[in-house]
Amino acid sequence: MDLSVDYLVDLSESWLPVVLQYGAQVTLAILTLLFGWWLINTLTGKVASLLQRRHVDPTLHGFIGSLASIVLKVLLLVSVASMIGVETTSFIAVIGAAGLAIGLALQGSLANFAGGVLILLFRPIRVGEWIEAQGVAGTVHSIQIFHTVLKSADNKTIVVPNGSLSNGHITNYSREPRRRADINVGIDYGADIKLARQILLEIAQDERVLRDPEPVVFVTGLGDSSVNLSLRVWVATGDFWPVTFGFTELVKERFDEAGIGIPFPQRVVHLVQS
- Please give the model's pTM, rounded to 2 decimal places: 0.64
Stated length of the chain:
274
Q: Which of 48-62, 74-88, 98-112, 248-262 has the highest mean pLDDT?
A: 248-262
Rounded to whole angstroms, the Cα distance separating 51 from 72 reads 19
Cis bond upstream, residue 213 (ω within 30): yes
**Residues whose CB is less than 8 angstroms from the CB of residue 145 and which lie 6 or more positions away in sequence, other chains included:** 59, 60, 63, 112, 113, 116, 117, 120, 162
pLDDT confidence band for 145 (50 / 70 / 90): confident
* pLDDT exceeds 90 at position 217: yes
Which pLDDT tens digit goes with each residue over 65-110? 667 777 788 788 878 777 776 666 666 666 676 666 656 555 566 7
Domains within the chain, CATH numbers bracketed: 3-119 (1.10.287.1260), 127-170 (2.30.30.60), 176-256 (3.30.70.100)
The pLDDT value recorded for residue 219 is: 95
Q: Are 223 and 264 in contact (CB under 8 A)?
A: no
Rounded to whole angstroms, the Cα distance separating 252 from 154 reads 27
N-term to C-term CA, the chain? 141
